[in-house]
Amino acid sequence: MTSPFYFQWQNEILCKTIYPMREPKLRDFLTYYMEIDVWKQYKDKNISTLKTEVDAYVNAQEAAAVTAYKSYKVLREYFQLKDVRHYFTKYKPTDEAELTEINNFHALFIDSWPRDIRGERSFVEAQIQYWLQHRNMLRDLVRSKTRRLENMAPDHPKRAAEAKELEVKQNITLPMAEQELDQLRAFLKTYDKIEGRKLAWYKQKKSDPAFAMEEAEFLVHYAPENPVTVRDIAIWKVEEYRASLEKKKQYELLEEIYQRFKKEPARYPYWLQYMVVHFSGMRYASAHGSWADPKDLLIRLNAAELEKNSKALDDGTVEKLCREKIAAYETGSGSNVPRLARATDKAWKDKVALHMLSVKANGPKTRRAGLAALQAEEANYEIQSLSTDEVLKKIEAMKTKFPTWAWKEIVKLTPLRVNHVEDFNWEKLTPEEEAERYAPQYNDIRMVLDAWENYDTSAWREEHGRTHELIVSRAVCNETAEHVQHIRGHLPPGGLTPKPKWYSGIETENTLPGNPRPFYTRPATEKDYVPGASILWLRFVDKEPNAWQIAKSVKTKSGVDLLPASFPADKNIDTKSGNTPWAYRRGDTVTRSRTVVNPETKAKVTQQQWLRWIHEATVAEVGETADGTMVITYETALPDSDKGISAVGIFRMPLSWHLSDGTEDTYNRSFVGYVPEGQVPMEHLKTMLDWNRILLKKVS
C-alpha cells in the first residue's frame, strides 16, 4: 500500500468498504450541476440556429437505438436461460441452494413473460420486487447470524461451524443474490431507451396488417415522432457528459470537481466542497461508535503506568515531591515546572486547586493521594495539549506492545486506519482474535479498551465540531447535516427531534448576524430553499419513535403546524366497507388511528401510527433544468432505499415534489430551517481542502 495517505477514502480498502458509492456520487455531483449549466446555455436559443447540434443529436440517437436494443436483447436472453451456472462460476464454491433459487426464478420468468409489450415493464418491476424480498431475507439472515456470532462465547463448540456458515452466506450467497438483482435493474433500465419504440412498433403492427417490419429491425432504426427541440438537445448534452464520466475513476472525477470549485468558488461554499470531497459515497449507518478519542486512549494507557509508579514511592519521596509541586505551582520555581502550572483555563486551574489541598495536607496518605491525582492531571493536560497527529504518533510508536486484536480495534476507531488498514475485514476480529481478546492474560488491556470504546459513542459530534477533521466512517441523515453545520460555524443539537425548535428558537432570538435572516418555515416557493438550510421531513410510522425522532409540536412564525387543520379528529365510518378514516390526536406529539375491516374475516383491526421526523437534508442549490426546477441537496438516501442510491452525497428532486405534502396516507410535509453562516473554520479547512493532499499531487 502506497503511503502516506491523508484521508481515509485514499486508502483503496477503506474506499471500497466505507465509500461503496464513491464514484457514482462524485459523478452525480458533476452531472446535476451540469444539467443547470447546460439548460442556462440553451434555454433561450432557437432550434433553427442549432443545425449542427440537431444533426449530431440525430446521429447520436441512431447509435443509441442500436446500443439500447443490444443491451435489452442480451439481458432478455439472460433471463430466458433456464440454467445460469456459467454466470456464477466466480463464486467458489458456488452456493448450490442459491443457484437453484436463481434458476427457479428464471423458470418463473420464462413461464410468465407477457405476450404483450404493454405489460413488459410492469412485469420486470414486479420481478424486481419479488427478488428484492429474497435478497432482503438473505440480508436479514446475515445480520441475525452476525449478531448470534458476536454474542457467542469464543470457546462455544458450534462457533467455528457457525462462523464458516456466516462466511458463506455473507461472501457467496448474498453476493449471488445481489448480482441477480443488479441484472434485473439493468434490464429494467433498458426500457428507458426502448419502451417508446416498442410501443410504437406494437401500435403500428396492430393498426396496419400489411406492416411487415420485425420488432428488432424497427427498434434499431431511430425515427423521431416529433421535431427535435432545444430541450432534447439539452438533455442529450447532459447524457453525453454523464457518459464521458462513466470510465473516470475517483481521482479523475475529483480533478474535474476541483476545476469547478476553482472556476466558481462563490457557487460552491466551503461546506459543500468539504462534504463533496470527504463524504460522497459514504455508507449509510449511524456514526455512533465509529470513532473513539485517541487522546482519551493515551490518557487511559498512561494512567495504569502512573498508578504503578505512584505505589512504588516511599513516604519520604512523596513528601519531597509534594514540596516541589507546591513550589512549582505557587512560585513557578524549580527545574521541572509542569505545563499544567501555566494553564490559564479556569476548569484546569480549579482542578489544580482541588488537588493542591491534598498535596499540602499533613497526613501522608492524603498527600500521596493528592500527588497521584495531580500527576495524573498533569499527564492528561500534556496529552490534551498535543495535536491529533502527535497523539497518533505516540500510539503508533507503541504498536509492538499491543496484541494483534487490540491494535486492530485501535486502528478501527481512530484515524490510524488511514495508513494501517490493509485487510477488508478490518472492522471485525477473526474467531482466533476474538478468542485471544478474552484470554486471561489480556484482562488489563481489554478493560482499558472496553472503557475507551464505550465511554461516549457520540463523542464524534463534539470532536468534529471542534477539529473539523474527517473522523467518522459512516453517517445517517441528521449526522450528515450536522457535519455540514459544523463547517458553517454552528453546533446544532444531535438527532432530528431537537432541530425544528433549534431553528425556530434562533429565528425568534434574531441575534445572529448575516443575511438572509434566520428562519423556520413551511416552504412555499423556491426562495425558501436557501443554500445551507436544512429540510426536515415528517412521516407517520407504525412503531413508536424514540426521543431523537418523535415529532414534537412546533409552529412556524406564521402559525403553520405539523399537520393541516383539515385532518379530521373524529371517526366517520365508511358504511360500505366498515372502515374508518384516520382520526388524529394532537398534542405535544401526534398520533392517528383508524379501524380497518378485513374483507374476508370481517374482523376489525385498529391501526395506530405516530408522527416522526424521518429525514434531514441540506440545500446546495436550486436551479432550472430541461426537466424543470430542481432542488439540489446534500444528504443521504433513506435506509430502505436500494444499494444503488443508499449512500451519502448529492441528490436532486423537482421543486414540486419538495413543496408537496403528499396524500394523507403518504404524508410527507417538510419544513425548512436556516441560520446564516457563523465563523467558518478556515484554519482547519486549509488542511481539509488542500488539493495537493486531496489529489496526491501538486496543483496550481
Report the pLDDT averaged over residues 600-616. 91
Instruction: Answer yes or no: is pLDDT of 647 > 90.
Output: no
Q: Give the separation between CA 291 and CA 457, rounded to whole angstroms.
A: 7
| Whole-number pLDDT of residue 597 | 86
Q: Which pLDDT tens digit goes with each residue over 245-298?
A: 999 999 999 999 999 999 999 999 999 999 999 999 999 999 999 999 999 999
| Whole-number pLDDT of residue 1 | 47
Q: Which pLDDT tens digit goes with each residue over 70-90?
A: 999 999 999 999 999 999 999
Portion of the chain with pLDDT greater than 70, in percent: 97
Q: Of the ranges 53-67, 212-226, 386-400, 487-501, which one carries the lowest mean pLDDT score? A: 212-226
What long-range pairs does 67-73 form, CB within 8 A, spacing at least 24?
Answer: 68/190, 68/193, 68/194, 68/219, 69/194, 69/216, 69/219, 69/220, 71/186, 71/190, 71/193, 72/187, 72/190, 72/191, 72/193, 72/194, 72/219, 73/216
Evaluate whether 632 touches 33 at the Cβ level (below 8 Å).
yes
Please say whether the dihedral angle defined by the alpha carbons of residues 462, 466, 469 and 475, taken in this order, is positive or negative.
positive
Q: Which pLDDT tens digit goes with each residue over 481-531?
A: 999 999 999 999 999 999 999 999 999 999 999 999 999 999 999 999 999
Instruction: Answer yes or no: is pLDDT of 300 > 90.
Output: yes
| Whole-number pLDDT of residue 4 | 87
| Whole-number pLDDT of residue 640 | 54
Q: Of the ranges 150-154, 279-283, 476-480, 582-586, which one carries the lowest mean pLDDT score? A: 150-154
Instruction: Report how far apart, in Å, the C-alpha atoms of 698 and of each of 630, 686, 692 are.
Output: 36, 15, 5
**Mean pLDDT rounded to a whole number for the chain:** 93
| Whole-number pLDDT of residue 222 | 81
Neighbouring CB atoms inside 10 A of 356's CB total 18
| Whole-number pLDDT of residue 684 | 97
| C-alpha cell belonging to residue 269 | 461554499
| Whole-number pLDDT of residue 159 | 87
Nearest-5° Cα angle at 179, 139 to 250: 95
Q: Give the separation between CA 219 and CA 62, rounded to whole angstroms.
A: 10
DSSP sequence for 372-422: HHHHHHHHHHHHHTS-HHHHHHHHHHTGGGS-HHHHHHHHHTSTTHHHH--
Q: Give the separation between CA 297 and CA 291, rounded to whole angstroms.
A: 12
Report the pLDDT averaged over residues 20-48. 97
Cell 418491476 identifies what position? Answer: 125
The whole model's pTM is what? 0.87
Report the pLDDT averaged over residues 182-201. 92
Q: Give the separation between CA 118 and CA 394, rounded to whole angstroms.
A: 67
Report the pLDDT averaged over residues 319-348. 90
Q: Which pLDDT tens digit goes with each residue over 97-145?
A: 999 999 999 999 999 999 889 999 999 999 999 999 999 999 999 999 9
Task: Give residues with Cβ within 8 angstroms of 104, minimum separation 6.
Answer: none
Q: Which pLDDT tens digit goes with each residue over 668-677?
A: 999 999 999 9
Q: Which pLDDT tens digit goes with each residue over 355-392?
A: 999 999 999 999 999 999 999 999 999 999 999 999 99
| C-alpha cell belonging to residue 85 | 451456472
Instruction: Answer yes or no: is pLDDT of 606 > 80.
Output: yes
Q: Give the separation between CA 289 and CA 361, rounded to whole angstroms.
A: 42
Taking only Cα atoms into account, the Rg of the chain, rounded to an integer number of angstroms, comes to 31
| Whole-number pLDDT of residue 104 | 97
Portion of the chain with pLDDT greater than 90, in percent: 81
Evaluate whether 608 touches 593 at the Cβ level (below 8 Å).
yes
Q: Which pLDDT tens digit goes with each residue over 430-477?
A: 888 988 999 999 999 999 999 999 999 999 999 999 999 999 999 999
Confidence of residue 305 (pLDDT cuts 50, 70, 90): confident
Instruction: Answer yes or no: is pLDDT of 571 > 80.
Output: no
Report the pLDDT averaged over residues 56-73. 93
Write phi, then psi, for 345 (nearest 5 degrees).
-65, 130
Cell 466558481 identifies what position? Answer: 264
Confidence of residue 576 (pLDDT cuts 50, 70, 90): low
Q: How many residues does the chain have?
A: 700
DSSP character for 695?
Answer: T
Neighbouring CB atoms inside 10 A of 182's CB total 12
Instruction: Report how far apart, in Å, the C-alpha atoms of 330 and of each of 325, 327, 341, 342, 353 are.
Output: 8, 5, 8, 10, 10
Q: Give the separation between CA 278 and CA 475, rounded to whole angstroms.
A: 12
Confidence of residue 149 (pLDDT cuts 50, 70, 90): confident
